Amino acid sequence: MSGSLEISAQPMEGPERRGVTLRSIGLGVVVATGSSLWVNYVEYVIHASRQMTGSHFPIGALMAYLSVVLVLNPFCRRLATRYALSVSELMVVLACGLVGGTIPSVGLTGYMLGAIAAPFYFANPENQWGDYFHPHIPKWLAPRNENGALDYLFEGLPSGETIPWQEWYIPIACWLSLVAALFVASLCIAVILRKQWVVSERLTYPVLTPVMELTTRSKRGDYPRLFKIGFYIAFGIMVWNMVNYFVPGFPKIPNIQWGPWIKFERYFPGVWTRINLFIISFAYFANTDILFSLWFFDLVFILRSGILNRLGYNASSWAHASGNFAWIPLGAFFSLVFWSLWVARGHLKAVVKTAMGKFAGLDESQEMMGYRTALLGLGASVVFVVLWFWQAGMEMGMSCLLVFTMLVLYLGVARIVCDVGLVFVSMPVGAQRFVTSILGTRNITGSSFTVLAFTNGLYSYGKGLFLPALSQMAKVADFCPKGDRRKVLAGVFVAFATAVVATIVFTLYLGYRDGAYNFNDYPFNHYSKYGYTSALSQMKNPQPPNATQLGLFGIGVISMSTLTFLKYRFAWWPFHPIGFALSGTSTYVRYGVFSVFLAWAIKFFMLRMGGATMYRRYQPFFLGVLTGYTAGITLSLFVDIIWFPGGGHSIHGY
C-alpha cells in the first residue's frame, strides 16, 4: 500500500484554470536560485546543517516550496482570489525547486569547483601532483595559481586586492558546457521514460506524494487535528532540543539529532539508531513490501558481513560494505537498470517509431518535448560529453566506457528514487572506480587518469547528479495542462541556468572573501583532493583488471536477476529486489535503515489493524510531522544566523 498523488491533472474552475504563467516561471526561478544561495550561505558561512542538499528532496528546496504553498499562497488568496497561484503554477515552482536543489554544495557546484581548483592549489613536492598531473592539464580545464589566484580563493583576499575573475572565465565556461550536455542528456532520458514509468509501470513517486498532498490541502485549507498534532510534535521536539544551544547542560530528546550505533559483535556492522523524522515522513507513503525489503536485506548484509569479517575477509567497515564487497550492490544496480530497459523495450520501440514519423500509438502532446527532439538531444549530448573528455586528454575508448557507466548509475538512482520513497539514496561505487577496475590501471595513460580525477567534480555524493530530480520533475509536469508542459520545460531551463551561474559566482565570492578553506565543507575542502590522491595511487601501483571485484559484480548481477525473476513471477514473493540493490551500499543508505524500519512497523500495524482506511486516516499526521520538522529546521537556521554565526548546529541529515 502506498500513497497516491491526488491532484487532478486537469485545470479546475475559476482562477484554478490558469496554466503555466510568466509569474509562475519567475517565482520558480526565484525559488531555485534563492534556495541554492541560501544553502551555500548556511553551509559555508553559518556552518549549520551540512546536508541541506543531501536528499532527493533537498530540505532547502522544501523550505522554499512549503513557504510558497503554506504561507505566501494562502496570504495572496486572502487578499484576492486572482492573486493566488493555481495548481499548475505551483507545479512549475515545485519543478524548478527540485532541479535547483541539485546545484549547491553536495550537488554540482561544491564538487565541481573543488575539483577544478584542487590540482594546482594542493600540489606540493611531497605529493608529486606537479609531476604526474600538471603536464596533462590543458589550460582551459582548470585555473592556474597565477598571481595567487587560488591561494586567495582558499585563504581569502589580502586587503586591497580584487577578485581575479579573469582566471575563471574560460575553465568555468568549458565546464558549464559539459554540465549543460549532461543536464540535457538527463532531461531527454526522463522524457523518454516518463510514460513507461508513470503509466505502464505505475511507479508511485513516494518522495513527491506528501508534498503534492500538502499542496492539495493548502488549496482547501484542510488541516485536520491529526495534522496539527504531527506538526506540534515534530516542531516541539526540534524547539526543545534548541534550548541546548543556549544551555549546554539542558537535556535533549535523544536519538533525534544523533543516534548511537548498536553493534551485535565487533566483526558485525552496526545499526545507526537515529530516529530521522524526515525519512519517516516520506517512507510512510512508500510501499510496505519495499520498506520491508530495505531493512530485511540490511539485516542480511549485517549477518553476511560479520561472518565474512570473522573468517578473515574484509567484507565491511563498521558502517557499510568494503571497497570490494560494494561491487555486489553495484552488480545489482546494473541488473536493475537493464531489467528496467528490457521491460520498457516495447515503449522504447514505439518512441523510436514516433520519432521517425511512424504511427506507434504514443501521444507526444503529453510530453515536455517531442520524442524526435529527445532522441536527437540525447545522442548529441552523449557524443559531446564523450568528445569533451577525449579533448581533455582521456582515451576515446575509456571516455565512452565512463560516459556509459555514468548514465547507467544515474539511471539506477533515478529509478530507485521514483519507486522506493527513500530520500537518501546513493550509488554503491562511482563510475571512475568501475572504469579503472574493468580496464586495469596498468592499461590507463597518465593523461586519462588526470581527466578521470577531474570527473570527481560530477560525483554529487553518488546521488545521480540531475537525473533523479528531472525524473520527478517529469512527473510533476503531468499536473499541468498538456499545452503548457513545454512551458514548464522552458521555466526549468531558465531556473537551472540562473541558479548554476548565481551559485558559482556566490561560492567564488565567499571563497575570496572568507577563504574557501574556512568553509570546512566536505565536497570543496576534502573530497576535492580525493580524486587526485586516488588516481596517483593507482598510477604508482599499476594493476591488471580486478578479478575479485568483477567476480563480486557478477554475483550481484546474478542475485539481483534471480530476485527480480522471483518477484515478477510469484505474486506471493515478499522480497523486493531493490532492497538487495541498496543493502550496505553507503552510509547514506545505512544511516536511514532504522528509520525505514520504524516507518514500516507503523504502517504494517496500521494496515493490519485498520486496513487502508486507517492508513489514509493517519496520513495527515505524517504530513504534519514533515511540515513541523521543516519548520523546526528553518527556525534552527535563523537561530544560528542570529546567535551562532560561524558556529551553527548540524541537525538535519541522514
pLDDT tens per residue across span 330-360: 999 999 999 999 999 999 999 999 999 998 8
Of 583, 574, 304, 543, the residue nearest 425 (C-alpha): 583
Alpha-carbon distances, residue 506 vs 129, 332, 427 (angstroms): 29, 39, 29
The three-state secondary structure class of 429 is coil
pLDDT number for residue 588: 79
Total Cβ atoms within 10 A of residue 158: 9
482-496 CB burial, b ≥16 within 10 A, e <16: bebbbbbbebbbbbb
Of 221, 209, 195, 174, the residue nearest 69 (C-alpha): 221
Whose grid coordinates read 569479517?
309
What parts of the chain have a pLDDT lower than 50? 1-2, 4, 6-15
pLDDT number for residue 5: 52
Residues 312 and 534: beta-carbon distance below 8 Å: no
SS3 for 485-517 is: HHHHHHHHHHHHHHHHHHHHHHHHHHHHHHCHH
Rounded Cα–Cα distance for residues 30 and 64 (Å): 9
pLDDT number for residue 52: 87
pTM above 0.85, yes or no: yes
Write out the H or E segment, with its range, that includes residue 272: strand 271-272
The three-state secondary structure class of 309 is helix
pLDDT number for residue 9: 45
pLDDT number for residue 17: 57
User: At a CB cut-off of 8 Å and minimum separation 6, what does 137 contact?
Assistant: 119, 393, 450
Total Cβ atoms within 10 A of residue 328: 28
Instruction: Enumerate the β-bridge partners of residue 272.
Output: 261
Total Cβ atoms within 10 A of residue 503: 25
The three-state secondary structure class of 591 is coil
Residues 512 and 163: beta-carbon distance below 8 Å: yes
The three-state secondary structure class of 449 is helix
Angle, vertex CA 26, rays to CA 21 and CA 27, nearest 5: 100
> How far from each other are the two terminal CA atoms of the chain, in whole angstroms?
25
